Amino acid sequence: MKRIRSFLMIVFILGLQLGCSGSLTIKEQNLASSMDAVDIEVSKLMIPFTQHIYSKRAADFTWEDGSTEGIQQDIIDNYKRSEPFAPGGFMVGETPTAYFICVSMGGIDSITEGFEIRSVYLPDDGHDRDPILYINAKRVSNEVTGVSGMNEAVYVTALVSFLKEDIPDNIIINETILQLEE
């Protein structure tokens, strides 16, 4: 008799669990899908930046726009060594007043494709001393470089800088994330 009661109790509990874990009602499904569509706005500290160089390189081709005037040679050398990197942002130098970052799109199939940096920012939560630096960029096409007929991957990069005075004191930038807008 005890075994039957225990068995029935287990069946009853399993039945409750199965009934509670069933599919969502239409109202619950609508709420869940609307929650997925909500964009949570994070407070951002927008950082003014300067784009110094915009480059496209392949094995037998180099195209560059911009100027390296006033930039230390070791920073320029680090930038040029960083060009064939995967997509992302890479710290290539630091002076007493500024940080220099190579923004790379990696290998792109067409010489006329590239990117435009839209913004640079840090999350503005006021607590993190080692925040992630975000770089927002948008893909662009139909760029004019004066070269046509390229059939190999082209590495597209930009050298950007921002002043240390434009970020909070005691911030250490160890990581960057490149976000692409389509």
Write the pLDDT tens digit of every residue in 20-57: 544 545 545 554 444 444 455 668 899 999 999 999 88
The contacts of residue 58 (CB under 8 Å, 6+ apart) are 111, 150, 152, 153, 154, 155
In this prediction, residues 4-13 reach a mean pLDDT of: 61
The contacts of residue 168 (CB under 8 Å, 6+ apart) are 45
Closest to 156 measured CA to CA, from 106, 91, 101, 100: 106
Q: What is the model's pLDDT at position 40?
A: 55
Residue 133 structure tokens: 């630096």
Residue 170 structure tokens: 């005691």
Q: What mean pLDDT is reported for the chain?
A: 79
In this prediction, residues 73-97 reach a mean pLDDT of: 88
In this prediction, residues 134-138 reach a mean pLDDT of: 94
Confidence band, pLDDT 50/70/90 cuts, at residue 74: very high
Residue 47 structure tokens: 């950082």
Higher pLDDT, 111 or 157: 157
